[in-house]
Structure 1
């Protein structure tokens, strides 16, 4: 193993000794109680199988495995629409394998692509915690020997995983749907967005290019949070090998879904290969996730989600861990917004199987995790294929089939990964550098301070954003307004940079899984609503951001800085309308971004008692 990987893994284990021990004690006790159904009263059990049809005898006898399906199916998300047919397929597969399966419950799944820049986006981050709670409700029937999680997109996979970890004695497999076929080239779409931002493209032209990009069932094909989720499930061993990027509606996708049900039945506590989720998601799996994120230039959102997932498993990680791993992990992939290719091109070039094998060979991934497929991470690097109708796995290509998209560790796109931690007198933040050109990774410029992304866009429309500047957008943290993504700023700031201005973004909000070519110091903590230092910034203050050195600071006279009162939080928005009033408890209970912005745990990583 690489010494930095070993060192970070060891310090996570040591830091988490007490919380992890308590967690494992809980899941071991749950397993020792035996099959859950047979502890139910007769009335409870009869309710549980009343509508089970031909599965009634198996559920009544209690000797065969029963799978709980938690589904995030809806028609709003193109990535989730294919999940409509999965339960019927899984039930059939389970019956053929001698078991049974029941839809335990559904969870909400919002589309960030629909809510970007709208009031609904202020519910987005906390939808993750809502999904975790809904997952727990679904599994609380205590009828199940294993579970299948049907979900793909941004907050949905982290929410499902956080909720499932409360039932860590159960084996859990994640069952994805796969990406839609490629649409128009991503650079063409980005160019039209920028032209629209400066008034040179009509709404109809923009709508046409967006519709040609997002055009059918399946995951959006850029490498944002949804596709980063799928990578994480692979390197954490929670998918069948190679399941991430197989198109929906294909025989291979259906075969993988059937195989997931069959495998879940093999690894229950009823047999001799019990693989509980809580044992699979350990410090090694979390380190694998952070390395995979860095190596592929994945979504900044996972700087938050991985912390929350780890806490749900009794593990304590922070951004220093992520930064240390990113600095020793080579960047192996160029997928939009870090390049022009999409995930289908990445898959065709060798995909995650090739990337995992390369990282294993460099000692950057832990091979010895208890993957759900029954082996370790070395088998996770295999590529699925159909031999007539039989599902089989084979080695990925020996070398990349397109080195403009995917490379090995001997000739990476960059010697370091895509994420950095920033630290200084303004607090701590995260920056994604994999799409930012080296000449744009350092800036010292006057602050332009705003309380919303709409205010930035209004200033641009009024011709007020001249010269070099750092756009400071505060009041966007989890406790202020739910930490929305500020994705609408990407075309505008990118346009200004293309005009020759030196620009950057500093915010206590999120940017997006599609964070692009402009330097963006995001997830700033402490947030302004907690009186963080960013609340002291004024227009014209010099702000220095150095992604390479990990520095974030206001260059203001120390005496003046210390004497300043924090600006009052903005009063408009973030509290009422579009359901936001229902999430006040979550806003008040949320931890910092570096604690996962989670409303479900307190400072000691116990269930929240606020």
Structure 2
């Protein structure tokens, strides 16, 4: 065990934001806790089932497991898996159920695969019609996992998922079944490939017509080359960071490579740990109690301190809401004023997630933040009480899994900085506001001299119209590129990564360029100042729908200003533009999602179609 950390007073801003969230959430949180307490069982949950129900529930089990399930003292652990073998991050999960079942049998428990959930890759669908299903898939994942858990056979659950919408969806489902203990089981990142800086260089050459498709494909294949999570710091790796700091992974589990002895040991330990949190263990800790307001704030702090994916500004709202906790972008903004940027991981810098891990990883980040009162220490985790456990790292001691204190100072200060000497004194995410609405900018990747721009708008109603305009030279000027009707209700809010190479080229040519959109960019916005997630979106009456070509727009990533510089009288006279989007709602399965799309809330409300009564 690690040495006892010296108690440091909690930062006043962190304390104030936390108390504000507690007060705001009082009614909904109480209703949630009451609901999960009602669902609690004093024994194994299957004891409530009729004999016919129970017989169906274990009919396919092996004889030993069937005997255990007849015994009302043995825990039955649900396995919810997002396995498919197209996603590099999820391919390692193929054999996890069997490994988990063996680990559970070794401690007298049973594991059953309760269900599988869809898992799509934004990297594959980027710029394609399928990307318009991506954000909505999060709520589908939550619903799919709920179907598996609804059999009420289970005393705890293990969730196997990593990537963009998968983890938030699984968390939402886990919290809907908040009376059950839950542990999240990562699979780890792929080994390092082509350096990110070189990948970006080839992408920009291709955008300029100076590299052919073969060269581009070779570069991409050298970057994304094996099993495991993509190594840049996008939503997938941000998910892992946040989950660990929220205490939902075992300490140090996030960034250990797949198919290594340490990863195998961590997976077995996660399986066995959930049995120690069940009702019959005598140490009952359901996830709905574990994830409280302090834990949610810890997750936000981890996001800001590491410059993580802007997608989490939506996902964390939706995840918290599933636990009856109400957060908004003001909470992110206020915390960002006191949480420094401690990490430079691509696109915030040249390093990848493996270099971050080598420099000290999550354990060092948690140590730094705890030492300066920027995290709540007194919280429950799946590893026990107290976040100081997450300053430890796992290792194999003569083949046995153990934990030891992590490093106390960065092994590469170009990748992980200290709170005393951070990369930036402001967190990596800025909340923007003005007459155009509210938005988010990932400032951690944008040089300070590029964060302020006042220039005429060039307006597009489709991301696909930007590249032809670029190729025609129409963007060779200082400009604010406005890409609207990309919000949740318009077309499901796709990510717009395809815009980054041409806009990056324009910046390299010396032009001042910014992007303003009601769409998403995840963690890959790079050096382009981008005010994203603009809400209200154009489709639902946002001022974006009234922007004309040539209108002056001010984007200030340092002060958080997002203003259309057109007088109010002129704007009042303008009719909002409304394109015909029907063609974009058909094909590639999009027609199946119409009902969900029309119910999605705004970005700041989590872009969620699930309605909670609590």
SS at 2:515 equivalent: strand
Of 351, 358, 371, the residue aligned with 2:381 is: 371
Please state if 1:17 is matched with 2:26.
yes
Please state if 1:77 is matched with 2:87.
yes
SS at 2:381 equivalent: coil
Measure, in 1, the Cα distance between the counterparts of 2:67 and 2:119: 34
Measure, in 2, the Cα distance between the counterparts of 1:34 and 1:457: 61
Q: Which residue of the partner structure matches residue 289 of structure 1? A: 299
SS at 1:148 equivalent: strand
What is the deviation of 1:33? 5.5
Q: Which residue of the partner structure matches residue 301 of structure 1? A: 311
Measure, in 2, the Cα distance between the counterparts of 1:508 and 1:298: 19
Please state if 1:4 is matched with 2:13.
yes
Stretch moving more, 572-581 or 492-501: 572-581
Q: Which residue of the partner structure matches residue 518 of structure 2? A: 508
Measure, in 1, the Cα distance between the counterparts of 2:186 and 2:584: 33
Q: Which residue of the partner structure matches residue 91 of structure 1? A: 101
What is the deviation of 1:606? 2.5
The answer on whether the counterparts of 2:41 and 2:279 sit within 8 Å (CA) in structure 1 is no
Of 146, 158, 168, the residue aligned with 1:136 is: 146
Q: Which residue of the partner structure matches residue 498 of structure 1? A: 508
Measure, in 2, the Cα distance between the counterparts of 1:151 and 1:558: 48
Deviations 1:45-85 (A, max 9, x none): 00111111020011111211111000000011100000011
Measure, in 1, the Cα distance between the counterparts of 2:580 and 2:342: 42
Measure, in 1, the Cα distance between the counterparts of 2:468 and 2:291: 45
Of 551, 555, 558, the residue aligned with 1:545 is: 555
Measure, in 2, the Cα distance between the counterparts of 1:565 and 1:10: 43
Of 268, 274, 281, the residue aligned with 1:264 is: 274
Q: Which residue of the partner structure matches residue 28 of structure 1? A: 37
Of 447, 458, 461, the residue aligned with 2:457 is: 447
Q: Which residue of the partner structure matches residue 238 of structure 1? A: 248
Measure, in 2, the Cα distance between the counterparts of 1:426 and 1:523: 11
Measure, in 1, the Cα distance between the counterparts of 2:361 and 2:573: 54
| Aligned CA distance change for structure 1 residues 570 and 448 (closer, same or farther; 3 Å) | farther
Structure 1: unaligned runs, 5 residues or longer: none
Q: Which residue of the partner structure matches residue 606 of structure 2? A: 596
User: Superposed, which structure 2 residues align to 1:43-192 within 5 Å?
Assistant: 43-53=52-62, 54-192=64-202
SS at 2:315 equivalent: helix
Of 309, 325, 346, the residue aligned with 2:335 is: 325
Of 239, 262, 276, the residue aligned with 1:229 is: 239
SS at 1:447 equivalent: strand
SS at 1:543 equivalent: strand
The answer on whether the counterparts of 1:123 and 1:482 sit within 8 Å (CA) in structure 2 is yes
The answer on whether the counterparts of 1:161 and 1:309 sit within 8 Å (CA) in structure 2 is yes
SS at 2:281 equivalent: coil
The answer on whether the counterparts of 2:82 and 2:160 sit within 8 Å (CA) in structure 1 is yes
The answer on whether the counterparts of 1:529 and 1:569 sit within 8 Å (CA) in structure 2 is no
Deviations 1:90-117 (A, max 9, x none): 0000000011100000000001110000
What is the deviation of 1:32? 4.3
Measure, in 1, the Cα distance between the counterparts of 2:582 and 2:74: 56
Of 569, 592, 613, the residue aligned with 1:606 is: 613
SS at 2:395 equivalent: strand
What is the deviation of 1:282? 1.0
Q: Which residue of the partner structure matches residue 210 of structure 1? A: 220
SS at 2:280 equivalent: coil
What is the deviation of 1:189? 0.4
Deviations 1:505-531 (A, max 9, x none): 000111122121100000000001001
Aligned alpha-carbon RMSD (Å): 0.9
Deviations 1:163-194 (A, max 9, x none): 11110010110000000000011000000000
SS at 1:574 equivalent: helix
Please state if 1:395 is matched with 2:405.
yes
SS at 2:384 equivalent: coil
Measure, in 1, the Cα distance between the counterparts of 2:182 and 2:502: 42
The answer on whether the counterparts of 1:482 and 1:574 sit within 8 Å (CA) in structure 2 is no
Measure, in 2, the Cα distance between the counterparts of 1:574 and 1:95: 50
The answer on whether the counterparts of 2:155 and 2:181 sit within 8 Å (CA) in structure 1 is yes
Deviations 1:246-285 (A, max 9, x none): 0000000000000001110011011221111111111111
Measure, in 2, the Cα distance between the counterparts of 1:568 and 1:411: 49
What is the deviation of 1:572? 5.5
What is the deviation of 1:570? 3.8
Measure, in 2, the Cα distance between the counterparts of 1:415 and 1:428: 23
The answer on whether the counterparts of 2:367 and 2:408 sit within 8 Å (CA) in structure 1 is no
SS at 2:401 equivalent: strand
Measure, in 2, the Cα distance between the counterparts of 1:571 and 1:336: 35
SS at 1:25 equivalent: helix
Measure, in 2, the Cα distance between the counterparts of 1:418 and 1:195: 28
Measure, in 1, the Cα distance between the counterparts of 2:19 and 2:57: 44
What is the deviation of 1:215? 0.4
User: Superposed, which structure 2 residues align to 1:376-525 within 5 Å?
Assistant: 376-525=386-535
Which TM-score applies when normalising by structure 1?
A: 0.98
Which TM-score applies when normalising by structure 2?
A: 0.97
What is the deviation of 1:466? 2.1
Corresponding pairs, count: 604
- Report runs of 4+ in structure 1 exceeding 3 Å deviation: none
Q: Which residue of the partner structure matches residue 7 of structure 2? A: none
Measure, in 1, the Cα distance between the counterparts of 2:398 and 2:190: 24
